[in-house]
Amino acid sequence: MEQYQQIIHIIALTLGVSWASGINLYAAMLMLGLLGAGGYIDLPPGLGILSDPLVISAAGLMYAVEFFADKTPGVDNGWDGLHTFIRIPAGAVLAAGSVSEVGPAAQLAAAIVGGTIAAGTHFTKAGTRVLINTSPEPFTNWAASITEDAAVIGGLWMALSHPSLFVALALVFIALMIWLLPKLWRAIVRVFRRLGQWLSPTPQRLPAPPPEPLLRLPSANAS
């Protein structure tokens, strides 16, 4: 029973860090680092570096920047685009660190799965934000950003406190994400197509030439 709980705990932490990295990497790093440094949780050796004061300070600084960038319409889309190259590999690295005690093969497998999950959550978030920003009011954007921050904190807490429940919910979320991503992609394509039509200048049409007469009468000067 104890071994089963340990395995579930490792799986939940692996899924949790990769899932959270795709949504808000710095909030996930900051929360785990503070909990580890305060002695509230025992981080695996591969994640122990998150408890270092320098890493905590860097994660806190970047979370503060993201807190405002993520709530500014338009800026959040650029921020998400930039973090395509940060959140996904970071999710893979954190997932591999979660199983550092198991062995190199488990680390490689966790990195593959973790990077994939981080990519899925990242593109789901980024795609949703593009659609939300089609509305001129900023309140929906703020609500989405605050909800994402709360989901990351609450999700990691559940992964650490109730790993079995988190694993079940994570599997449901992954299934929904697989179903939702193609629909998001098609909706984004429609948005950019309409934007392109709106920005493209309307071609000026030349006046049509007068129609030629069906029957030409002979000219009076004709010989």
Please check whether residue 149 lies inside any domain of the structure.
Answer: yes
Taking the model in full, what pTM does it have? 0.84
**pLDDT digit string, tens, across residues 143-186:** 999 999 999 999 999 999 999 999 999 999 999 999 999 999 89
Which residues in 135-161 are b (16+ Cβ under 10 Å) and which e? eeeeeebeebbeebbebbbebbebbbe
118 located within any domain: yes
Is residue 61 in some structural domain?
A: yes
Q: Which amino acid is at 57?
A: S
Helices marked H in the chain: 2-37, 53-69, 75-82, 84-98, 104-132, 139-161, 163-199
Identify which of 34, 36, 40, 44 has the alpha carbon closest to the alpha carbon of residue 11: 44
Range of the domain at 98: 2-199
In 3-state terms, what secondary structure has residue 221? coil
Q: Is the residue at 146 inside a domain?
A: yes
Q: Is residue 191 part of a domain?
A: yes
Has residue 28 been placed in a domain? yes
Distance from C-alpha of 71 to C-alpha of 143, rounded to nearest angstrom: 9
Tokens of 44: 């695996």
CB atoms within 10 A of CB 67: 15
- Render pLDDT for 198-214 as a digit per residue (tens, 0 to 9): 777 655 566 666 666 55
Domain count, the chain: 1
